[in-house]
Amino acid sequence: MRGVRRRTHRALRVGLVCPYSFDAPGGVQFHVRDLAEALQAAGHEVSVLAPSSDETELPGVVTAAGRAVPVPYNGSVARLTFGPLTATRVRRWLEGGIDGHPFDIVHLHEPMVPSLSMLALWQTTEPVVATFHTSQVRSRALQVAYPLVRQSLEKIAARIAVSEDARRTLVDHLGGDAVVIPNGVYTQVFASSPRRPAWTGTPDAPTIAFLGRLDEPRKGLSVLLQAVPTILAGKPGARFLVAGRGDGIAGETRELLGEHAASVEFLGGVTDAEKAELLASTDLYVAPQTGGESFGIVLVEAMSAGSVVVASDLGAFQRVLDDGAAGALFRTGDPEHLASTVLTLLADPARRDAYRAHAADWVQRFDWSGVTEQVLAVYDMTLAADHAIGGDVVGRIMGLFPRRVGGDA
């Protein structure tokens, strides 16, 4: 396991609940997986409950709660599981704890999503911490879910939001408040990743990477592809490396790119190790998302690996990039501005070096060593408060952490 700085917290039995399926993992699933690993490295016992089919290979700490069904959610497709059979599985997991001993803390992720976390919130009698990941100006899903969990929300002793954007969504829809603790990244894993020669650029043929679901419009692949002709006109040797899953998208895109298709290579899905190699090898990492982002963990991974980030100027991305000091920002949804930003950076090695230097220091605030300590401080406060309801604990916790941690600078 990767190392986490240890403090004198007493050993805890922690139950983590993930609402989204590990059959098609995304940011929340990776966050839960890595938090479990970080807590174990700090000396705690952990069990994770998550949707998953029998065929999916899972980390040893994860208990599968059954196959999920795809549901449109937040501009994406979430794979969730619900119903009486799932509720029974959740109850058995809660009753079993760890080796028959009850959990000290049940940590729910996205408890407003109709899946395992909501079911666990209804049933648990243990102290509850909840992490909220979603960022939306107006969420119909949260509005619909609120009556279902209104009374159960009082069970949540402490609320965590992964960003200032997620905190604002929570406050606007549910009231109360939350401490902001960012998503964690094992920064050294990316910083020490080897480069892959096939993905490494040269001054005449720089590489520009994109990583994300190809069939989710909000991930912004179309914005990048619209910028490709302009970028190639200014830098004919540029190469675009596109990683991610999406049935049929690669073939359709090649047809649309026409004469420029040879400059775009579709890598398909990549492993964690391959992702780190890609980010370590590429000159620029482009994040052209158009909305629905509460954090931007891949931006932190790219900065940790030494790639210069070019991102749309969503609020969450601005905060992750230290308002543009750790990476370049372009107008969201504007392929021409993206192209001009990329060409400016490719022509200015000194500016790219300045971004890398600032980013190398900036990303340390997102390293799991510090993030885990913040989460454990919330656990400690929750237990010390003797099951006090959310606002009481959150008020004390927020006095411990400045808002700039993962939020406003």
- As a whole number of angstroms, the distance between CA 73 and CA 398 comes to 30
Superfamily name with CATH number, domain 13-184+367-398: Glycogen Phosphorylase B; (3.40.50.2000)
- Between 303 and 399, residue with greater pLDDT: 303
Domain extents in the chain? 13-184+367-398, 187-365
Rounded mean pLDDT of 198-209?
97
Ramachandran bin of 343, using left for φ above 0, alpha for ψ from -120 to 50, beta for the remaining angles: alpha
Q: What was the pLDDT predicted at 5?
A: 44
pLDDT per position as a tens digit, 165-184: 999 988 888 888 999 999 99
CB of 111 within 8 A of CB of 121? yes
- As a whole number of angstroms, the distance between CA 314 and CA 310 comes to 12
Q: What was the pLDDT predicted at 408?
A: 40
Q: Which amino acid is at 321?
A: L
Q: How many CB atoms lie within 10 A of CB 123?
A: 17
Q: What was the pLDDT predicted at 407?
A: 43
Ramachandran bin of 63, using left for φ above 0, alpha for ψ from -120 to 50, beta for the remaining angles: beta
Q: What was the pLDDT predicted at 142?
A: 58
79-83, 274-278, 285-289: lowest mean pLDDT where? 79-83
pLDDT per position as a tens digit, 59-101: 999 999 988 776 665 556 667 787 888 999 999 999 999 999 9
Q: What was the pLDDT predicted at 354?
A: 98
Q: Do domains 13-184+367-398 and 187-365 have the same CATH topology?
A: yes
Cα–Cα separations (whole angstroms), residue 236 to 5, 113, 242: 47, 46, 18
Q: What was the pLDDT predicted at 78?
A: 66
| Residue 258 CB contacts under 8 Å (≥ 6 apart), including other chains | none
12-39 exposure pattern, b = at least 16 Cβ within 10 A, e = fewer: bbbbbbbbbbbbbbbbbbbbbbbbbbbb
Q: What was the pLDDT predicted at 148?
A: 67
Rounded mean pLDDT of 17-39?
92
The fraction of the chain above a pLDDT of 70, given in percent, is 86
Q: What was the pLDDT predicted at 44?
A: 97
Q: Is residue 258 over pLDDT 50? A: yes
**Confidence at 292, pLDDT banded by 50, 70, 90:** confident
pLDDT per position as a tens digit, 127-160: 999 999 988 655 555 556 666 667 778 899 999 9
Q: Which of 168, 181, 123, 179 is nearest to 142 (CA)?
A: 168
- As a whole number of angstroms, the distance between CA 390 and CA 57 comes to 36
Q: Is residue 370 over pLDDT 70? A: yes
Q: Which of 201, 164, 169 is nearest to 181 (CA)?
A: 164
Q: Is residue 4 over pLDDT 60? A: no
Q: What was the pLDDT predicted at 401?
A: 59
Rounded mean pLDDT of 329-349?
98
Q: What was the pLDDT predicted at 254?
A: 79
Return the half-sphere exposure (C-beta side, CA atoms, 13 A cut-off) of residue 101.
10
- Between 86 and 399, residue with greater pLDDT: 86
| Residue 311 CB contacts under 8 Å (≥ 6 apart), including other chains | 286, 287, 288, 289, 296, 299, 317, 320, 321, 327, 328, 329, 330
Fold of 187-365: Rossmann fold (3.40.50)
**Confidence at 390, pLDDT banded by 50, 70, 90:** very low
The fraction of the chain above a pLDDT of 90, given in percent, is 69
Q: What was the pLDDT predicted at 195?
A: 97
